Amino acid sequence: MTLESQIRAPSATPVDDAVLPFDVSALDVRGRLTKMGPALDEILTKHDYPAPVGKLLGEAIVLTTLLGSTLKFEGRFILQTQTDGPVSLIVVDFQAPDRLRAYARYDASKLKAGQDSAALLGHGHLAMTIDQGADMSRYQGLVALEGGNLEDAAHEYFLRSEQIPTRVRLAVGEEFRGGDGPKHRWRGGGMLMQFLPKAPERARQADLHPGDAPEGAVAHDVPEDDAWAESRALFGTIEDVELIDPDLSGERLLFRLFHERGVRVFPVQAIRAQCSCSREAVAGMLGSFTPKDRADMVENGKVVVTCEFCSSVYQFTPDEAGVVPEQKAAEG
């Protein structure tokens, strides 16, 4: 197959809930683009989140999708934030190759009009965990959240942990439509781009801030590679509406950005919303509690457990929950 036979016009057909890998060899950059529709909407609408909280959780889902879709094995990528902000906890669980679930905890009394994602997060940390299974060790990367948003945290992570020049864009919005069908739905999109030249020295970055270095110490400075500078400039032109537009395909967006340099795309990776909870799994979880804890869970003659991820409700009789008669009598 010749190179010319591989060149084609970008597809005009949008593909939702999928990750589109791409490569711009002329600039030595690679990346992934995602457009999310029904899967994102399903996860967010299972909870009655205020709009700003839903948007923040949506951004975390988009970021997790971009990162988790790189796993080449049957494992998990888990993104978690713990902070002092109005949204104190976010958990997004990506199970390779395509299953996604998420939830957030927030304090409604701390929510105020006009708060952006950074204000909702506050200060704390973001953890990214790769779980390769029971017989393999976990890998976890931590980055501080110091008043920035998730894009800022991702940039800081790649700067400190991976040391790969990286840019990330995240966008989430609400779509309102008239006519038949749903009047409101969530959409999201995101893009990750990395500079990966064949000569490693071209990807060198300046040393991290010296911290307590003596006053007057000269800061380390590395000129930015021309190809990466051009890539960053093109990347900076992306608008939120382009990432969430249901009528703009990912291929056409990439063509808008890189048509002068030439962009190559690869087969998409589909993503779906699916929780891993089940009645059997919840029963197993109940079995891990002490007999007293199980007895304390009995209310109105039953044990009720709600999945935080998907809001599914599981009900058990005391016998099914493993509450022994002596404990039931004590409770009575």
pLDDT for 301 beyond 80? yes
Mean of pLDDT values over 63-76 = 91
Task: Identify the pLDDT of residue 235.
Answer: 98
Query: Which CATH architecture is the domain 279-328 placed in?
Result: Alpha-Beta Complex (3.90)
- pLDDT tens for 214-225 read 666 555 567 889
| Cα 284 from chain centroid (whole Å) | 28
DSSP 256: H
pLDDT band at 249 (very low <50, low <70, confident <90, very high): very high
The residues spanned by each domain of the chain are 18-206+224-273, 279-328
The three-state secondary structure class of 100 is: strand
Task: Identify the pLDDT of residue 136.
Answer: 76
**CATH class belonging to 18-206+224-273:** alpha beta
Closest of 285, 310, 311, 314 to residue 93, by C-alpha: 310
Instruction: Give residues with Cβ within 8 angstroms of 55, minimum separation 6.
Output: 117, 172, 173, 174
Mean of pLDDT values over 14-34 = 97
pLDDT-above-90 percentage for the chain: 73
pLDDT for 247 beyond 60? yes
Q: Mean pLDDT lowest for which of 79-88, 130-139, 204-213, 252-261?
A: 204-213
Q: Mean pLDDT lowest for which of 28-32, 141-145, 204-208?
A: 204-208
Q: How far apart are CA 79 and CA 268, in angstroms?
A: 22
pLDDT for 331 beyond 70? no
pLDDT band at 141 (very low <50, low <70, confident <90, very high): very high
Stated pTM of the model: 0.89
